[in-house]
Amino acid sequence: MNSREHLLVRDGKDVLSLSHEHLSMYHGSEYPGGVALAWQALRFALPALAGGGVVRREDVLLKTPFPGIGFFDAVEMATRASSRKAFHLLDGMPMLGNPPASPNRGYFFFELHAAGGIVLFSLKHGLVPDEFYTLSEANARSPLQGAERERLMALRRAVGAALLASKPEDLFDCHHLSPLPRTSAEGEDDSPADLSAEDALPPLAVADNGLPLSITYGAMLRYAGRQSECGVAAAYMLLRQALPLLAREGMPERKDLSIRCGIFGKGMVDGLEMVTRAAGGGRLEIDERLGEGQVVAPEGQTGGSFLFDIAVGTRKGRFLLKKALDPERYFELCRLRDIRGLDDDEKREIERERIVFSKALLTAGEAYEAIL
């Protein structure tokens, strides 16, 4: 199996093409085997359900007794199941077959649903070495140090590499399959959205426990979805400006980054999370009182002010969206949409204004006033 093959999921009007590397960017360094397992599990299950089309992200629901963090993160990156409260970790769930136990607790058994379709499957026996179980269980009792820690990490990487080197159908036993008769509505295009221009923008550099990560604007959009493009663009430009100023010695560690922001829009929060993992790590605070008098988004889905306090360790900075970039007409249309809805002409106009605002952000050079 070529690890550069892609996984397709539908998000709104777009079909997003996701790679194993995208899932790894989101998770980081600690559990590469879990990321590889999720990558192969989704490549095994989603095409089986798809019936010649592409499964919608919002339709995916997963139940499993397997508590792996790398697996959890990778499934979230691809399907947003955790954000939608559609990832269910169930210790005592019924299982078919004889799935192998996972280290510490749980089993490698998975129940994946999508819009009426269901597939039940488990990892084949004999794919995880006994030494991996032994060291994982010892690490759960007391975190390993020194050579033992290095050996455990080497085993995690080796298990991940072995999973990636196999075909999905060689890794799993399917116990039940009820596929969807069709997943694409009439006229829907299953071709992946072209994000090559977004991938070509300068990447953001962060580290995860010393592992360097190079995260593109395109990767941020794949996590958030292009329906939230304005917020993702604002998050990308914020970090593109802030990280070099606050981490002058090199790329910052994710765990050293904390963010306090006045805006709570989904695209902004998702964009920041893809790069920093600050929300999942409890290092992202949203304070709607922050930034009175600054550029303010309309109440509703994206309310709040474009003011951010960012810290990398002890070094701090405040960043305010420049008032010249205030998309007044776009925000006016957003307010009208939330109050009374939009007519057809206004719907076309808000889409044009959304694109104009995103492009203005991405071409601004420095989109924020920085106060250090």
Angstrom distance (rounded) from CA 354 to CA 32: 37
Query: So where are the chain's domains?
Result: 7-178, 196-371
Which class in CATH covers the domain with range 196-371? alpha beta
- Residue with token string 């205030």: 326
What are 118-156's pLDDT values in tens digits?
Answer: 999 999 999 999 999 999 999 999 999 999 999 999 999
Q: What pLDDT score does 298 carry?
A: 72
pLDDT above 90 covers a percentage of the chain that reads 79
Contact 323, 295 (CB under 8 A): yes
* DSSP-assigned letters across all residues of 63-122: EES---HHHHHHHHHHH-TTTTT-EEE-TT----S-PPBPSSS-BSEEEEEETTEEEEEE
Q: What is the pLDDT of residue 185?
A: 58
- State the average pLDDT over residues 104-114: 95
Query: Is the predicted pLDDT of residue 186 greater than 60, yes or no?
Result: no
Question: How many Cα atoms occupy the beta-carbon half-sphere of 221 within 13 Å?
Answer: 25
Residue 286 pLDDT more than 80? yes
* Chain mean pLDDT for the chain: 92
- Assess whether pLDDT exceeds 80 at residue 102: yes
pLDDT tens per residue across span 5-40: 899 999 998 999 999 999 999 999 999 999 999 999
d(CA 102, CA 106): 5
Q: Is the pLDDT of residue 214 over 80?
A: yes
What's the pLDDT score for residue 90? 97
- Of 70 and 302, which is predicted with more confidence? 70
Left (φ > 0), alpha (ψ -120 to 50) or beta: where does 106 sit?
Answer: left
Asked whether the predicted pLDDT for residue 181 surpasses 90, the reply is: no
Q: Is the pLDDT assigned to residue 3 strictly greater than 50?
A: no
Closest-CA residue to 257 (of 275, 241, 270): 275
Return the sign of the alpha-carbon dihedral for residues 163, 164, 170, 172.
positive
Structure tokens at 222: 């794949």
- Cα separations in angstroms, 328 against 133, 334, 358: 57, 10, 13
| pTM for the structure as a whole | 0.92
Lookup result for tokens 């590397």: 21
Half-sphere exposure of 284 (CA within 13 A, CB side): 19
Q: Rounded to an integer, what distance in angstroms lies between the CA atom of residue 96 and that of residue 119?
A: 11
7-178 and 196-371 agree in CATH topology: yes
192 pLDDT above the threshold of 90: yes
Task: Give the pLDDT confidence score for residue 103 in this predicted structure.
Answer: 93
**pLDDT exceeds cutoff 90 at 296:** no
Residue 116: pLDDT band with limits 50, 70, 90: confident
pLDDT of residue 334: 86
Can you name the CATH fold of 7-178? Answer: 60s Ribosomal Protein L30; Chain: A; (3.30.1330)
Question: What digits encode the pLDDT tens for the residues 343-371?
Answer: 999 999 999 999 999 999 999 989 999 99
User: Are the C-beta atoms of residues 213 and 239 closer than 8 Å to each other?
Assistant: no
Residue 17: partners with Cβ closer than 8 Å, 6 or more residues away: 6, 7, 8, 192, 193, 195, 222
Place 315 in a pLDDT band, splitting at 50, 70 and 90: very high
